[in-house]
């Protein structure tokens, strides 16, 4: 029966809720609020429970975010490392020029800031380099992994004029032509063992599979697929004395070409 109230339960058959039903509506009674039929302290309990539920959901969200952020950062980190690796390696001060003997290779550690996962080390040992001051003629052009034959001359464009930003940098090439200081990565291009120097034979020698290199880093024999990896060098003046700085990089092992990793 149409009662003009657009009633969806005209017969009043549906069960009433909170004591209110279609008949009550027809009688003009206001629709009751949930819990309104309960005592005041029970209604307050309902509101408190709803508030606590929302607060718990918010706290869960915050905890989930805090727990998930490191995981997301870890997953994205290789991508960030790749983009960082694409930028040029900085020159790192490794030794005082005055402390280097002439004509004898010296192995020196390289220290630099390093980030390990989420820990930042202001000064960590990141590797070693062989340094040789004078005494060795420049390598012939086009050899192995240093096609320009200019390893250690700083002539790769990083300091083309021999003058760094502080105006105190000069090319690591001696006035008579041969490099004043040359530097090589100590890791063997074959499989990455540490290369030693045998002073009696005047050779660099890898103890793992007996690759041998001349004092200028060129490959003599053994399974190494290329020469020792030459690093760019520059000399800077600071604190009243000259310093040797090296552009420290590591390279892929087991391949003939030099590929920075």
Q: What is the dihedral of CA 194, 198, 202, 207, to 10 degrees?
A: -50
Contact stretch for ligand FES (CB under 6 A) within 80-88, 138-146, 220-228, 239-247: 220-228
206 lies in the site for ligand FES, by CB under 6 A: yes
Both tokens of 149, joined, read 């034959």
Residue reference for tokens 């800031």:
113
* Strands across the sheet containing 106-116: 106-116, 119-133, 181-185, 230-231
92 lies in the site for ligand FES, by CB under 6 A: no
224 lies in the site for ligand FES, by CB under 6 A: yes
- For ligand FES, the binding residue among 188, 230, 235, 244 (CB under 6 A) is 188
185 lies in the site for ligand FES, by CB under 6 A: no
User: What Å distances lie between residue 12 and 32, 55, 151, CA to CA?
Assistant: 17, 40, 96
Give 213's Cβ-side CA count (13 Å radius). Answer: 34
- Smallest separation (angstroms) from ligand FES to the CB of 194: 9
193 lies in the site for ligand FES, by CB under 6 A: yes
List, in order, residues 6 or more apart from 221 with CB less than 8 Å away: 210, 211, 212
Radius of gyration of the chain from Cα atoms? 37
- For ligand FES, the binding residue among 149, 178, 222, 242 (CB under 6 A) is 222
228 lies in the site for ligand FES, by CB under 6 A: no
80 lies in the site for ligand FES, by CB under 6 A: no
208 lies in the site for ligand FES, by CB under 6 A: yes
Contact stretch for ligand FES (CB under 6 A) within 41-49, 119-127, 206-214, 241-249: 206-214
- For ligand FES, the binding residue among 211, 213, 229, 232 (CB under 6 A) is 211
Q: Are 127 and 248 in contact (CB under 8 A)?
A: yes
Q: Are 9 and 22 in contact (CB under 8 A)?
A: yes
Q: Are 179 and 173 in contact (CB under 8 A)?
A: yes
Contact stretch for ligand FES (CB under 6 A) within 38-46, 53-61, 163-171, 202-210: 202-210
170 lies in the site for ligand FES, by CB under 6 A: no
Comparing CB distances to ligand FES, the nearer of 155 and 193 is 193
How many residues belong to the chain?
Answer: 261
Please give the residue ranges that form the binding site for ligand FES (CB under 6 A).
188, 190-191, 193, 206, 208-209, 211, 222-224
């Amino acid at each position: 029966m149409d009662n003009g109230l657009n009633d969806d339960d005209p017969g009043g058959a549906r069960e009433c809720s909170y004591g209110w039903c279609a008949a009550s509506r027809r009688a003009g009674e206001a629709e009751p609020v949930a819990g309104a039929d309960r005592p005041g302290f029970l209604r307050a309990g309902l509101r408190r429970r709803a508030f606590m539920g929302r607060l718990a959901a918010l706290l869960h969200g915050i905890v989930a975010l805090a727990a998930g952020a490191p995981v997301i950062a870890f997953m994205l980190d290789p991508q960030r490392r790749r983009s960082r690796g694409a930028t040029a390696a900085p020159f790192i001060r490794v030794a005082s020029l005055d402390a280097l003997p002439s004509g004898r290779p010296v192995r020196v550690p390289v220290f630099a800031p390093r980030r390990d996962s989420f820990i930042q080390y202001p000064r960590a040992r990141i590797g070693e380099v062989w340094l040789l001051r004078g005494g060795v003629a420049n390598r012939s052009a086009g050899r192995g992994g240093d096609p320009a034959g200019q390893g250690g001359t700083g002539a790769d464009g990083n300091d083309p004029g021999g003058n760094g930003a502080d105006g105190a940098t000069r090319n690591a090439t001696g006035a008579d032509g041969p490099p004043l200081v040359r530097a090589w990565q100590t890791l063997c291009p074959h499989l990455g063992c540490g290369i030693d120097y045998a002073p009696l034979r005047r050779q660099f020698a890898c103890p793992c599979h007996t690759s041998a290199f001349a004092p200028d880093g060129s490959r003599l024999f053994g399974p190494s697929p290329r020469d020792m990896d030459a690093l760019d060098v520059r000399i800077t003046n600071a604190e009243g004395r000259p310093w040797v700085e090296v552009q420290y990089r590591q390279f892929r092992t087991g391949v003939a070409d030099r590929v920075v990793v």
